[in-house]
Amino acid sequence: MKAPGFVSGRAQWLTGIGLLGVIAATRWPLAPAHLFYFDSVNFALALDDFNPALHQPQPPGYPLFVLLSRLLHIVVAQPHQVFLVAGILGAAAAAWCLWRLATDMFGPFAGFAAAALFVFSPILWFGGLTNQVRIYSAAVSCLLGWLVWRAWHLGSHGSLRVAALILGLGAGFRPPVLLFGFPLLAAAWLRGRNPRALLVCGSLLGAGVLVWLAAVILVVGGPKAYFALLASYSGEQFGATSLLFGAKAAGAWRMARSAFWWNAIGALAWIWILPLVDWGELRAKLSRFGAFFAVWFVPGYLFQSFVHVADPDQTLFTVPVVCLLGGMVLSCLHRARLAAAVLSAAASAAFFFVPWRGLLKATTYEVVRQVDRETSRTLAAINRLESAGEVQILSYDSFVTWRHLSYYFPNLPVLVIEPGRAYRAGLHGGPAASEGGAVLLDPGKRIVVVPPPPGRGVRKALIREAAADDVGPVLTIEPRPGLEFRLGNMRFKVAPPPSGNRSRSTRV
């Protein structure tokens, strides 16, 4: 049985190069100047020392993404650019696989339309600029979808075996894809009803997982330590939003709405075309391929709705299915369909720059720009203060995380302030010194407070209680011996200078 869309080798190469070029040209100029998330710093630390037990990176570990990043780091110096390049490569691979799948299923035009919708999806764009490891959810999803479809509808036993191995290895980039993709693989196995195929594919899947899982377990300190780490991390991440982990109804409802809208935004770009399509053709295609779409989409969507989704790009396993559906719908339009496809892709791109409110705001470039601007301003302010004299940093629920501060200023003491405790991060890690219930601060180093976003009253309180100076995004305090002030429910006190020494602080 032949697929409806034949693609020559030359066309495959040219399409791959074209997709890579378009993605690079639309991502690189908009990329943040620094590591974006707390998790991004974790990955940067893993470039030198891979250890999920130390959150380098955070559990489950993502070992194959770290390996890829280390290979890229040989030729790309800056960590944030290493991850940007990794994201561009992953997005191009995902788009190529989706193009091949759509072409095989519905013909060349559907391949073009699905790939265009996907490349300019605001979710893919957001992930490519902020947390590139999640791009590999889409890469595994698209490759798995293509291979399973070949096994499902074309009877390709070789594709099924490769799909099993890819799913096992792909989990080394993004472990959750194992949960999302297994039902699709299992459905293809069950259609064949071949015990030997089940045994071979099961062995290949297990071997793919073992390649990376054994290495992570060895680093962490054994299976017991690793699974305890996973349990602890899962409870921490899912506890605020999942009813299964004890979350309140309001948090769970917000997560379910997030899963819906972050998947639906891709459909908003093409759903307007539905009244104009050939409905007979569309029903025939849905009748033939609807089960495939459902088994591919539903498991990941249910996980996002009821277990965990916190950022838009955590939906990237299911987003390609929405784009493939869009390509199918556009292929059922028989007049002006090229114009409709271009308009739909343009609308998808425009959604990334629209100043949405509510849940869709999280999918926009405005979020990327705001975080990058505040990070750049904060780091620049601390650099200026450090050049004027020795400083110590207090990070109190700040917009720029303590992980960023300890990473970009490894030689400066960074004190992390959380409800009921304070501790030192980075090279100066450990519990903070205290006396009489007050955390002691060094009298010889100017205090730099990186406060929470405006609206918490922290700035006014520190200016009033500690004569703090407002230096753009940060506050500075002269470390006068005996000075006391509060941050949250913690009390701080400048320690007396060592006997015979005077404070060396410098006013800026």
Flag whether pLDDT at 7 surpasses 90.
no
- Enumerate helices (H) and strands (E) in the chain, giving the number of each: 18, 11
Where residue 33 falls among pLDDT bands split at 50, 70, 90?
very high
Neighbouring C-alpha atoms within 13 Å toward the C-beta of 486: 8
Q: Where are the domains of the chain?
A: 9-367, 389-494
- Kindly state the average pLDDT of the residues 211-229: 95
pLDDT at 507: 37
Q: CA-CA distances (angstroms) from residue 348 to 1, 135, 138, 324, 330?
A: 35, 18, 17, 14, 14
The answer to whether 198 touches 164, Cβ cutoff 8 Å, is no
Residues 146-164: tens digit of each pLDDT = 999 999 888 777 899 999 9
Flag whether pLDDT at 504 surpasses 70.
no
Flag whether pLDDT at 409 surpasses 80.
yes
pLDDT at 6: 65
Residues 196-206: tens digit of each pLDDT = 888 899 999 99
- Higher pLDDT: 380 or 239? It is 380
Residues 244-256: tens digit of each pLDDT = 888 899 999 999 9
Q: In what order do the strands lie in the sheet with 446-450?
A: 430-431, 421-425, 414-418, 391-396, 446-450, 474-477, 469-471
* The two three-digit tokens of residue 321, written as one number: 């299915």
- Kindly state the average pLDDT of the residues 493-503: 72
pLDDT at 101: 97
> Which residues does 133 contact at the CB level (< 8 Å), separation at least 6?
39, 43, 57, 62, 65, 83, 86, 173, 174
Flag whether pLDDT at 408 surpasses 70.
yes
| pTM to 2 decimal places | 0.93
Which of 455, 489, 458, 456 is closest to 474 using CA atoms?
458
- Mean of pLDDT over the chain: 92
Q: Provide the b/e sequence for 472-499 (b: ≥16 CB within 10 Å).
A: ebbbbbbbeeebebebeebebbbbeeee
Flag whether pLDDT at 2 surpasses 60.
no
Degrees to nearest 5, angle at CA 161 with 215 and 19 = 80
